[in-house]
Amino acid sequence: MPAQPVRTPTSVVVPAHDESQVIDRCLTALLARSEPGEFDVVVVANGCSDDTAARAAAHGPDVRVLDLPAAGKTGALNAGDAAATGFPRIYLDADVELSTEAARAMARELRAGPALVAGARPVPDLTGCSRWVRWYYDVWLALPVLNDRYVGSGVFAVSEAGHRRLAPFPPVVADDLYARRVFDPAERVTTEPGFTLHPSRRLPALVDRLVRVRAGNVQLESAQLPIDAAEAPRGARGLLATPGVPAQKKLLFLALSVVVRAGAWVKARRGRTAVWNRDESSRSAA
């Protein structure tokens, strides 16, 4: 019987800054049905003042922890990259849930090719969210960009060839948008099953989060980076191409788009597009 080829583990890089409320949820979902040695998980605790590192280390031998003194997602991503050993390589935010099956699907698609970068379908957990937040996500999920080989919202993966184009990560806040824009649409793939996204629970927190996202996108657009400009329309432009959404939900989405653009403009004027003050409402719900 011919020898089976030795397959390196799929590496998973998890940057984590003061994520003790959610790191167990993240790692439990990822490793729940995994085989020993299937994943090489590198949790990069950066600038933590809580027990994120200790909680992550308690998840077993497939999880390694780097404890960096300084906070910063770009530094954490690049440090995790330097420590990771396998491909495909998944980058996973600590506040989302990617199941074992979803991680396997991303890795399997990238091993088969020809895609160089993979995302998964975001599935918002709207438990406890206000009506306005639920309305916003009803529209967001119907936007063309979510059905255009979507990569982002806290989860993406690259093949070894894709990694050579992606890394090292530049000092931008919108790292997942950067990952999507580095690759042509034909080089991207969205896999199933999806992953669980935990939105802000109330409208003011959602607006704050959207302003941060928009400001990060503005920062990326102004950076001198070799990124592809072709992309399905997002935001208000994408709304025009979205059929079957009730008018009142579209009006809310449009109103929020105006508020978010104004807030991002203010952040840009103050030189704060690189500042990422995270949402706490979804974390406290954990």
Q: What are the pLDDT tens digits along the chain (286 aa)?
A: 444 444 689 999 999 999 999 999 999 999 999 999 999 999 999 999 999 999 999 999 999 999 999 999 999 999 999 999 999 999 999 999 999 999 999 999 999 999 999 999 999 999 999 999 999 999 999 988 888 899 999 999 999 999 999 999 999 888 988 998 899 989 999 999 999 999 999 999 999 999 988 888 888 777 666 665 455 555 566 666 667 788 899 999 999 999 999 998 887 777 765 555 567 777 766 6
pTM above 0.85?
yes
Q: What is the 3-state secondary structure (H, E, C) of the chain?
A: CCCCCCCCCEEEEEEECCCCCCHHHHHHHHHCCCCCCCEEEEEEEECCCCCHHHHHHCCCCCEEEEEECCCCHHHHHHHHHHHCCCCCEEEECCCCECCHHHHHHHHHHHHHCCCCEEEEEEEECCCCCCHHHHHHHHHHCCCHHHHCCCCECCEEEECHHHHHHHCCCCCCCCHHHHHHHCCCHHHEEEEEEEEEECCCCCHHHHHHHHHHHHHHHHHHHHCCCCCCCCCCCCHHHHHCCCCCCCHHHHHHHHHHHHHHHHHHHHHHHCCCCCCCCCCCHHHHCC
